[in-house]
């Protein structure tokens, strides 16, 4: 069976809620490839993205989306135990995400893969208040804060979080990496909110994170007066703040 045919069949069984059939397809693929990590990149992740897209386009209902996401997450939990572990690289990453089952699934798979690649992972999920996240960053001092699966409505709050992190300076060398969500559909939006790194999926996030240099804070020359002026919002960000792109 070709990879395309396998993905189509797996998605079909997911949307039908057929847990056993989905499990058999996953294990058959892993036995054939002998690469557990490939199951994430070639089957579980693409299926998650397809379910998200179908739900966003109102082509499946909440029941189908919930069944598919939960089956996918259950199988990700099982495959995670088979991942080959690399030697610890001494780097830390905090992973947070938007609220909801689907963003939690994507963030969890990112956490699984980063951990397998030697990172020390702290997966906090969604719904963490900014002040608590800031305190955790100061306590753990990670190389990267990853934010996964943000929706259009969460963009202004994410920009506020990044501004707060930079203003407080609790971990100046930390990079903020944005992955998935609305940023996969709005080109360069991640730069408009002053993030440091961007990757569309977990596989590319690993490559970007491992190649990243520490964040270098902007330094104001001594004696430079602080200017008070109205900040001009970049075009896309201004539309999200006004609600014009809330459904994107």
CATH fold group of domain 3-80: 1.10.1240
131-162: pLDDT as tens digits: 999 999 999 999 999 999 999 999 999 999 99
15-67: pLDDT as tens digits: 999 999 999 999 988 888 778 999 999 999 999 999 999 999 999 999 999 99
Question: What residue has token string 């969460």?
Answer: 154
Distance of CA 84 to the CA centre of its chain: 21
Alpha-carbon distance 177 to 212, whole Å? Answer: 10
Count of beta carbons in the 10 Å neighbourhood of residue 131: 10
The residues facing 164 across adjacent strands are none
CATH fold group of domain 92-211: Rossmann fold (3.40.50)
Domain regions of the chain by residue span:
3-80, 92-211
In the chain, what percentage of residues exceed pLDDT 90?
Answer: 82
Count of beta carbons in the 10 Å neighbourhood of residue 223: 5
pLDDT of residue 32: 83
Instruction: Give the global pTM.
Output: 0.87
Q: How far is CA 112 from CA 79, 80, 118, 219, in A?
A: 10, 6, 10, 36
The residues facing 145 across adjacent strands are 94, 176
Tell me which residue of 99, 98, 89, 150 sits closest to 121, measured CA to CA: 89
């Amino acid at each position: 069976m070709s990879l395309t045919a396998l993905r189509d069949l797996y998605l079909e069984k997911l949307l039908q809620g057929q847990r056993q059939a989905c499990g058999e397809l996953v294990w058959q693929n892993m036995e054939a490839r002998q690469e557990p990590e490939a199951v994430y990149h070639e089957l579980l992740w693409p299926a998650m993205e397809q379910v998200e897209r179908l739900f966003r386009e109102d082509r499946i209902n909440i029941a189908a989306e919930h069944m598919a996401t939960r089956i996918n997450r259950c199988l990700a939990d099982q495959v995670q135990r088979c991942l080959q572990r690399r030697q610890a690289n001494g780097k830390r990453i905090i992973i947070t995400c938007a609220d909801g089952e689907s963003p939690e699934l994507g963030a969890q798979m990112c956490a699984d893969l980063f951990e397998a690649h030697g990172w020390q992972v702290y997966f906090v999920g969604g719904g963490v208040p900014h002040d608590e996240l800031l305190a955790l960053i100061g306590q753990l001092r990670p190389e990267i804060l990853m934010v996964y699966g943000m929706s259009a409505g969460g963009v202004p709050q994410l920009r506020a979080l990044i501004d707060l992190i930079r203003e407080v300076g609790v971990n100046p060398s930390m990079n903020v990496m944005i992955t998935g969500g609305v940023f996969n559909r709005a080109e360069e939006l991640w730069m408009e909110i002053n993030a440091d790194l961007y990757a569309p999926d977990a596989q590319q996030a690993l490559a970007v994170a491992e190649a990243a240099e520490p964040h270098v804070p902007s330094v104001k020359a001594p004696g430079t007066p602080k200017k008070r002026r109205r900040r001009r919002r970049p075009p896309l960000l201004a539309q999200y703040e006004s609600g014009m792109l809330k459904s994107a």
